[in-house]
Amino acid sequence: MFLQTVQNKSSRVLGAAVVIIFLAFPVLILLVSSGGSAPFHVAALMGLVCLSIRRPRLPRKPGADERLACLGYAAFTVAVLISLVETGFARGAVRELDVLLRPLWAIPILYLLIRVRTAPALLWFGVSAGAVAVGSSALYEYFTVDNFFRADGSTSAIHFGNTGLLMGFISAVGIPFFRQMGKPWLVIPVLALVFGLLASLLSGSRGGWVALPALAVLLLWHLRRVGYRRVPWIAAAILVVGVGVFLTLPQVGVTDRVEIAVTEYNQYTEKPIEHGDTSVGVRLALWSAAWDMFLENPIFGGGIGYSFNGYLQEQVDMGYYHPSLAHQTMPHNVLLDTLALQGLVGLAGLLMIWSALGIVFLKAAAEQGTELRTLGAAGLMLLVAYMHFGMTDSVMGYGPPLVFFSFYSVLLVYLIAESRVKMTTQGAL
């Protein structure tokens, strides 16, 4: 009796800690310096403890979807470790190891979630709170910061805008969840979407704007599939009007950012070395250098760590690129980043984690149940966003975006598996 009481109390404490972590994470990751790493590592540590303790037993074993996702996380990690061996455990590579092992820590977090039986509400309220907080921070910066240029919170403007946009869209995917609690609750995902768009537009992150059409189409497709006939049109109208208003406001500077991008592209194509220090010029030069680096060692790449920076310095010294590139550390493209540093082995690891999660999310989105469809669509939103963000940023190669991806992908995988268990149990009854 005493032992049972202690176990119940410890379970309640563990559950309360998980609630705090999952509600605080989406706000901390963008508004507090290194704010996402702390709750992520705490959750991973708690998961390792759950794995090491045999009593009480887990409520259930990991399902097929969860095992497939774990295989993807492990494949990504194995590719990273192969690259580490290839570089001979150089100091720079070992430093990067902590960041690149984040997907591996998703596995103990999964066991933590199975232990505490986390509710879907943590996902939907968490990302909604995060989107509103980030959008509010962007507005605060816009109205209070002298010589405002780009909203960035406590991180880079790119990560700030992209993640805020993604949280807003995932919140909107959760409209069926909020609707079942009553119509007044629908204000939450609507506000989250609006504030997520605000964060993206005020950040000036053009990579997020590239992803916007794909995310919008995916959202409208999902809402129509779960039975909302008018909501997709209302959501489309909100998106068109909202984005249109911001595009026409000169104070926001969206139009200027687009015009600058076109001008810088034309300048770079005419004189690549001379104009290799502009925002677009740097991106194009980095992509070219990353591809050349991959061709030199296509199987294993140049190795994780500072190998890309070293390669750039050599190329600058030989006069192939603008001197400003000597300070760059990543190619700002997820595929080229992986190919340059880890070669085809690394690309296989990246495709494995995306493919494994993609299968889990696609299967869920194709189910008949609204809850499974909604969770699957949220997972697809995460993958589609990262594939688009990855065109202009190394989203799977450095801390904050990789933490966000690992954190929410494993939460979605768990919720999908839990929803399947619930459907099976109800069917048996």
Are 236 and 224 spatial neighbours (Cβ–Cβ below 8 Å)? no
Instruction: Tell me: cis bond preceding 298? Omega within 30 of 0 counts.
Output: no
pLDDT in tens, the chain (429 residues): 433 444 555 677 888 888 999 999 998 998 887 777 888 999 999 999 888 876 677 788 899 999 999 999 999 999 988 888 877 666 666 677 778 889 999 999 999 999 888 889 999 999 999 999 999 999 999 888 877 778 888 888 889 999 999 999 999 999 999 999 998 999 999 999 999 988 988 887 877 888 888 998 899 899 888 887 776 677 677 667 766 665 665 555 566 666 777 777 677 777 767 666 777 788 888 888 899 999 999 998 888 877 788 888 888 888 888 888 888 888 889 999 999 999 999 999 999 999 999 999 999 999 988 999 999 999 999 999 999 999 988 899 888 899 999 999 999 999 999 999 888 776 655
Cα separation, 97 vs 167, in Å, equals: 27
Q: Where are the alpha helices (DSSP H) in 297-398?
A: 307-317, 334-365, 370-389
User: Smallest Cα–Cα separation from 196: which of 170, 167, 159?
Assistant: 167
Which helix or strand (DSSP H or E) is residue 396 part of? none
Tokens of 264: 């810088």
Residue 390: which domain range? 2-253+335-428
Are 369 and 357 spatial neighbours (Cβ–Cβ below 8 Å)? no
Q: What torsion do the CA atoms of 284, 216, 225, 416 make, to the nearest 10 degrees?
A: 60
Are 417 and 65 spatial neighbours (Cβ–Cβ below 8 Å)? yes
Cα separation, 165 vs 162, in Å, equals: 5
Tokens of 225: 């599939």
Residue 378 lies in a domain: yes
Angle at 198 between CA 244 and CA 209, to 5 degrees: 65
Residue 252: its pLDDT value, please?
Answer: 52
Tokens of 395: 């989203």
Residue 277 lies in a domain: no
Residue 90: its pLDDT value, please?
Answer: 67
What is the helix, strand, coil percentage profile of the chain, to 5? Answer: 75, 0, 25
Are 304 and 345 spatial neighbours (Cβ–Cβ below 8 Å)? no
Cα separation, 398 vs 393, in Å, equals: 10
Number of structural domains found in the chain: 1
Residue 225 lies in a domain: yes
Cα separation, 376 vs 177, in Å, equals: 13
Residue 91: its pLDDT value, please?
Answer: 65
Cα separation, 409 vs 105, in Å, equals: 12
Residue 66 lies in a domain: yes
User: Smallest Cα–Cα separation from 112: which of 169, 48, 170?
Assistant: 48
Other C-beta atoms lying within 10 Å of the C-beta of residue 26: 31
Return the DSSP state at 57: P
Are 189 and 378 spatial neighbours (Cβ–Cβ below 8 Å)? no
Contacts of residue 96, Cβ cutoff 8 Å, sequence gap at least 6 = 304, 305
Are 96 and 310 spatial neighbours (Cβ–Cβ below 8 Å)? no
Are 379 and 360 spatial neighbours (Cβ–Cβ below 8 Å)? yes
Are 416 and 67 spatial neighbours (Cβ–Cβ below 8 Å)? no
Residue 287 lies in a domain: no
Residue 45 lies in a domain: yes
Helices 206-225 and 254-270 sit at what angle, rounded to 10 degrees?
120
What's the one-letter identity of residue 227?
A: G
| Radius of gyration of the chain, Cα coordinates, nearest whole angstrom | 22
Provide DSSP, 156-221: -HHHHHHHHHHHHHHHHHTHHHHHTT-GGGGHHHHHHHHHHHHHHHHHT-HHHHHHHHHHHHHHHH
Residue 282 lies in a domain: no
Residue 144: its pLDDT value, please?
Answer: 87
Other C-beta atoms lying within 10 Å of the C-beta of residue 378: 29
Cα separation, 76 vs 351, in Å, equals: 8
Residue 311 lies in a domain: no
Residue 70: its pLDDT value, please?
Answer: 96
Phi-psi sector, 88: left (phi>0), alpha (psi -120 to 50), beta: left
